[in-house]
Amino acid sequence: MTLEEKLQNLPDEPGVYLMRDAKGHVIYVGKAISLASRVGSYFQKGTKGEKTEMMLRQVTDLETIVTHTELEALVLESNLIKKHRPRYNVLLRDDKSYPYLRFDVKSEYPRLEVVRRIKKDGALYFGPYVPAGGMWETLALLRRTFTLATCRKEFKADRPERPCVQFQIGRCVAPCSGEADKVLYQDMVSQVRLFLEGKNRDLLKMLMHKMDEAAEQTDYERAAELRDRIAKIEGALEKQKIISQHFENQDVIGMALEGGQADVQALFVRNGMLLGRKDYFLDNVRGMQEADILGDFLHQFYAKEMIVPEEVLLPFDVPDREILEKWLVEKRGAKVEVQVPQRGRKRELVQMASDNAGQALREHLLSQKSRDRILSILQDELALRNLPRRIEAFDISTIQGTESVASMVTFENNRPEKRGYKKFKIKGVAGQDDFASMAEVVRRRYGNPEMGELPDLILIDGGKGQLNAALSVLEELGIEGPDVFGLAKARSGESGEEREFERVFLPGKSDPIILPPASAATHLVARVRDEAHRFAIEYHRKLREKRAVHSELDDIPGIGPTRKKALLRHFGSVAKIREATAEELALVTGVTRKAAEEIVVFYKNKGVGRE
């Protein structure tokens, strides 16, 4: 069915639409209350934004997905944007999950742990902590102040263990020994919970009361311990930024827009305290309305795995605010209000977030001008066709002809784009052959139909041989858009006064170009090449280490990484596992009777006897 036929048969129902270019790549994902009305409006005569006009010139195909409700369309749109990362959608560069502190107060000996995934497991989660430095400071304070367990051991009263060094230095009460006072431990758990919930007055009041009680009972050691705990907590409270005395949980969103680029600032207020903040730079939003930009941002922002607060404060209204609110209520499992405050303290918070966004945007634009200048210098020095905003660099790593691997790193606007990093095991080359290895990797990268957007520049680590190998594959695949060159170090000068310099090998040129050592453009390409080299070496090292730590347990049928860890944690060594009976092995968490018998049979066949 042609595009015109699809446009004539659009359903008048809610759903999601995907626009594709000539190569089949998804370049835009949108949602609509009525697919017929919304999608049809793109192709009607009339003035549209610059970005929309550019997108429509590339659209060759259209796909629609009908949903039952607008809310389903919103959720599906968010998931599809995350999956396809279309060029013309507003995209969040940072799609990492935020760090939280997990506190399972229902367990016998609760412990604090850092997690990035939130589960409905009955545990308490505190966060998000952005940047993560604040979380590590909080965790360090709590571990200095409260002697909760910090390890991941399974505590079993019938199998006490010798306490570790944390107990020796007074940082843990050693539940593993079977001698920890459960009442005192649970008392500490209550105090840690009060601290994390921001109920500091209640916590200090409780601790002072317990200190006075201990002093009255002449338990001066306990009283001194509580006195020190109070002092540490009071010191920490002086550093906290209190936003409100009413213990609100809020996400405060501010936004600034200038020159087709935007910055959104999110302030995370938890229990009345400013827990952290994060700003998101959004480029290529020229021609979009600020309400649409913010609306698209919110859909992706809350598509992350995170705890939704009771209130979300916005600088202005966004399309489909009611649908957004319903979605957030569904994610949180409780009431959520999306507000646009007009006055008072909440409006001041939104203004503070918007002011921060404005400052961040100005700094980013200044930095971007400097980066663009460096890219222009590189383009001029090497007579490149494209301004190299997106660079992909390849490196081969082989040590003594074994475990040949390759890396590809991506830089966008002079910065590493970790999402674009790839690593390859060389499969079709025997021994050490850098030229054939480079050809294989380039073919695997650019011969993939799902390869995505082509870079402006392909940088090959090496000289003429590696460059020609890559060029041959690109010609075979019919890829002509990107500039390509090889980069290799060379040395000159007499012994003791040797100097390194960079040589660039260009297609069709017999002699390399020597880059000026002090040039910012030279530093850029060298940094990209060195990052590709680092990434390849790191991958190579991991493979060698993995091979070196291969355990005989890996050869037993039915024993995977989880069971192997559980067995080693339980018995302490492979030697003890060899001597264990099937009954003893089956006592380990996650080890079935069948798996236990497999272990016994394995060692019996190896000739390991049992008493």
Between 207 and 392, name the one with better pLDDT: 392
Q: How far apart are CA 40 and CA 30, in angstroms?
A: 13
Q: How far apart are CA 26 and CA 22, in angstroms?
A: 10
**Residue 496: per-residue pLDDT:** 47
Share of the chain above pLDDT 90, in %: 33
Ramachandran angles phi, psi of 174, nearest 5°? 60, 65
Token couple for 121: 């497991």
CA 491 to chain centre: 39
State the pLDDT confidence band at 491, using cuts at 50, 70 and 90: low
**Residue 256: per-residue pLDDT:** 94
Query: Using alpha carbons only, how large is the chain's radius of gyration in Å?
Result: 30
State the pLDDT confidence band at 407, using cuts at 50, 70 and 90: very high
Mean pLDDT is highest, among 157-166, 212-221, 258-267, for: 258-267
Q: Which of 43-47, 233-237, 487-491, 497-501 has the lowest mean pLDDT?
A: 497-501
State the pLDDT confidence band at 611, using cuts at 50, 70 and 90: very low
pLDDT tens-place string over residues 300-334: 898 887 889 999 999 999 988 999 999 999 988 89
What amino acid is encoded at 233 in this protein?
I
**Residue 565: per-residue pLDDT:** 84
**Under 8 Å between Cβ of 204 and 233:** yes
| List of E strands, 247-326 | 250-258, 261-270, 273-282, 311-313
Q: Which residue has the tokens 């835009």?
A: 28
Show the CA angle centred on residue 300, arms to residues 3 and 422, nearest 5°: 80
Count Cβ atoms below 10 Å from residue 133 Cβ, excluding itself.
10
552-605, CATH topology level: DNA polymerase; domain 1 (1.10.150)
> Does residue 387 register a pLDDT over 50?
yes
**Residue 313: per-residue pLDDT:** 96
**Residue 93: per-residue pLDDT:** 67
CATH code assigned to 3-84? 3.40.1440.10
Residues near 97 by Cβ (< 8 Å), separated by ≥ 6?
Answer: 116, 117, 304, 305, 306
**Residue 555: per-residue pLDDT:** 80
> Does residue 94 register a pLDDT over 70?
no
CA 539 to chain centre: 19
Mean pLDDT score across all residues of the chain: 86
* Nearest C-alpha neighbor of 274 from the set 246, 241, 245, 244: 241
pLDDT tens-place string over residues 496-523: 445 668 899 999 888 899 888 888 889 9
Q: Which residues, in sequence order, are bridge partners of residue 415?
A: 412
Q: What sign for the dihedral angle of Cα 247, 248, 250, 255?
A: negative
250-363, CATH topology level: Nucleotidyltransferase; domain 5 (3.30.420)
Q: How far apart are CA 133 and CA 421, in angstroms?
A: 25
Token couple for 350: 């939104």
**Under 8 Å between Cβ of 374 and 273:** no
> Does residue 451 register a pLDDT over 80?
no
- Regarding pTM above 0.85, the answer is no
Mean pLDDT of 173-196: 88
Tell me, yes or no, if the two domains 250-363 and 390-537 fold the same way.
yes
pLDDT tens-place string over residues 558-592: 888 888 888 888 888 888 888 889 898 988 888 89
**Under 8 Å between Cβ of 125 and 307:** yes
Mean pLDDT of 463-489: 92
Q: Which helix (H) or strand (E) holds 399?
A: strand 390-399
CA 89 to chain centre: 20
What amino acid is encoded at 125 in this protein?
Y
> Does residue 461 register a pLDDT over 70?
yes
Mean pLDDT of 219-235: 81
State the pLDDT confidence band at 550, using cuts at 50, 70 and 90: low
Q: Which residue has the tokens 């590709």?
A: 532
Mean pLDDT of 18-41: 90
**Under 8 Å between Cβ of 147 and 171:** yes
CA 418 to chain centre: 9
Q: How far apart are CA 220 and CA 225, in angstroms?
A: 8
Q: How far apart are CA 261 and CA 28, in angstroms?
A: 18
Mean pLDDT of 213-239: 79
Mean pLDDT of 329-350: 92
Q: Which residues, in sequence order, are bridge partners of residue 579?
A: none
Q: How far apart are CA 78 and CA 578, in angstroms?
A: 51
The residue extents of the domains of the chain are: 3-84, 100-239, 250-363, 390-537, 552-605
Q: Which residue has the tokens 């921001």?
A: 198
Mean pLDDT of 424-445: 89
Q: How far apart are CA 42 and CA 56, in angstroms?
A: 8
* Nearest C-alpha neighbor of 88 from the set 32, 33, 37, 25: 25
Q: Which residues, in sequence order, are bridge partners of residue 500?
A: 491
Three-class secondary structure assignment of 201-254: HHHHHHHHHHHHHHHHCCCHHHHHHHHHHHHHHHHHHHHCCECCCCCCCEEEEE
* Nearest C-alpha neighbor of 393 from the set 363, 370, 423, 367: 423
Q: How far apart are CA 50 and CA 124, in angstroms?
A: 47
**Under 8 Å between Cβ of 447 and 417:** no
H helices of 411-494, in order, are: 434-446, 464-477
**Under 8 Å between Cβ of 259 and 358:** no
Count Cβ atoms below 10 Å from residue 516 Cβ, excluding itself.
12
CATH of 390-537, one of 3.40.430.10, 3.30.420.40, 3.30.420.340, 1.25.60.10: 3.30.420.340
> Does residue 494 register a pLDDT over 60?
no
Q: Which helix (H) or strand (E) holds 354?
A: helix 344-382
Task: Return the exposure string of 437-476: e unless at least 16 CB atoms fall within 10 Å of the residue's CB, then b.
Answer: bbbbbbbbbbeeeeeeeebbbbbbbbbeebbbbbbebbee
